[in-house]
A and B are shown apart, each in its own frame.
Chain A
Amino acid sequence: MLDTYRIGAVEQLMQYARMMKLGIETVVDPPEFSSALNALRYSDYILIDTMGSSPYDKGKIEKIYECLRGNDTDYSVDVVLVMPSSIKYEDLKATYENFAPLGIDTMMFTKLDETRGFGNIFSLVYETKVPISYFSVGQEVPEDLVVATSDFLVECLMNGFSRGENT
């Protein structure tokens, strides 16, 4: 996990790791990134939580880029861009463009339960051709994280999101 900037972020993730009995490593500076990956190499999957940042904060994005670039392990890192579904299309697009240098493999949209319009998601996917991996539809862990399907998005577009019916 790279998010040592936000107060309480490490503690929160630690608590999740403890609950699930998972190994966890903290990276403050990009050079530590590879050694942290190596320390977790007994794992099948390593999830890397990065520091959240404004799409216009070039410094923070650059730091993530440095981590990925300095990765000298055998692992190739999948980059997932997480965005709230409740922001305007223009903001989604700017966010995508500013994070694109990291090499976005898939996108994920959160807060589908907090909006009534999903055209922004559709437009962004149509425009960028980048697949969506997951949607989050609430605050419950873990069942509010759902694998994204086109049927699900179409249903949201046509009839709106409602709990229990779409999922």
Chain B
Amino acid sequence: MNHQAAKLEALVNQNRNTAAKKTRFIAITSGKGGVGKSTISSNMAHVMAKYGLKVGIFDADIGLANLDVMFNVKIQKNILHVLKGEATVNEILVPIEKNLVLIPGESGEEIFKYASGGLFERFMDQASVLDDLDVMLIDTGAGIGEHIQLFLRACDDVIVVTVPDPAAITDAYATIKVTARLRDEINVIMNQVRSSKEAEGLFEKIHKVAQANIGGGLKLNYLGQISNDAKIANSVKKRALFSRDYPSATPTIELEQIVKRIAKKLERNVLVDPKESGLGGLFKRLMEHF
């Protein structure tokens, strides 16, 4: 006992080793492409980081990784280089701002070629550098492909983004239907809406159809809406984040409300097995499905 808080220090250390790392993996997906999935992911990451959460954002859009464009950064190496042993996890991380790092992705298809052999073990050892994160946002591709489903299965939360047009709604529903086989809770964000009445009406419709066809086992949560706003397109063109450019604009306020709803869930889910948490845990879970 060399100082006043020695026992506190011991308690904290004990917690670090046993009780839990609580990185929460949140997959953001959509049925149809071009509904603003990456725009929402990157801005959500920014808002979370602004609130003091330690956030990682992983670009898992198969073949179409583009978060580097969203954040306006240059990528040298990505996660594939790590899997091939050509780089370490630390080398590929791109710090975006305080509390926010980007993990550049490449072709998801290729990533899964490295499922076998000792490559993954090496990666997982290194990935513990990311265990500090509170949240890992995973920007998956659009669609209902097999690899996307793998991510949706391995994450703690799934958010489906859609816009009000009928084609997008249909595709969002298809995603929900396929994902419902893997999990019993799915979150929905309505993007580019003109009024909250429209957004809630459409969500109610999806909800009704889901209840009727998928059954009562599925819990469909409405996380919120992002209003249609010319400012968003303006920021995207400039390769900037609308939530940073326009901190008091309606879409930013709406996104903040969504983040608050997610943050509430974060604290509730802290007791996970240390082996199953962190990025290593995610990949382990991914690989179990092969």
Contacts and interface: CB of A to CB of B under 8 A. Distances in A.
B8 A20 contact: yes
Interface stretch (A51-59, A94-102, A135-143): A135-143
Given A42-B52, A141-B7, A20 B12 contact: yes
B187 to A, nearest CB: 18
Interface size class of A (residues with CB under 8 A): 10 to 19
Given A19-B12, A142-B11, A39 B4 contact: no
Interface of B is mostly: helix
Contacts of B5: 16, 19, 141-142
Contact of B51 (A20, A42, A143): A42
Nearest to A20: B12
A140 B6 CA distance: 8
Contacts of B9: 19
B52 A39 contact: yes
A42 B7 CA distance: 27
B263 interface: yes
A103 interface: no
Contact of A40 (B7, B8, B52, B260): B52
A20 B12 CA distance: 6
A141 B16 CA distance: 18
A41 B51 contact: yes
A21 B19 CA distance: 15
A20 B260 CA distance: 23
A22 to B, nearest CB: 10
B52 A140 contact: no
B255 to A, nearest CB: 15
A19 B8 contact: yes
Interface of A: 16, 19-21, 23, 39-42, 44, 139-143
Interface of B: 4-5, 7-9, 11-12, 51-53, 260, 263, 266-267
9 contacts: A19-B9, A20-B8, A21-B12, A42-B53, A139-B4, A140-B7, A141-B8, A142-B7, A143-B7
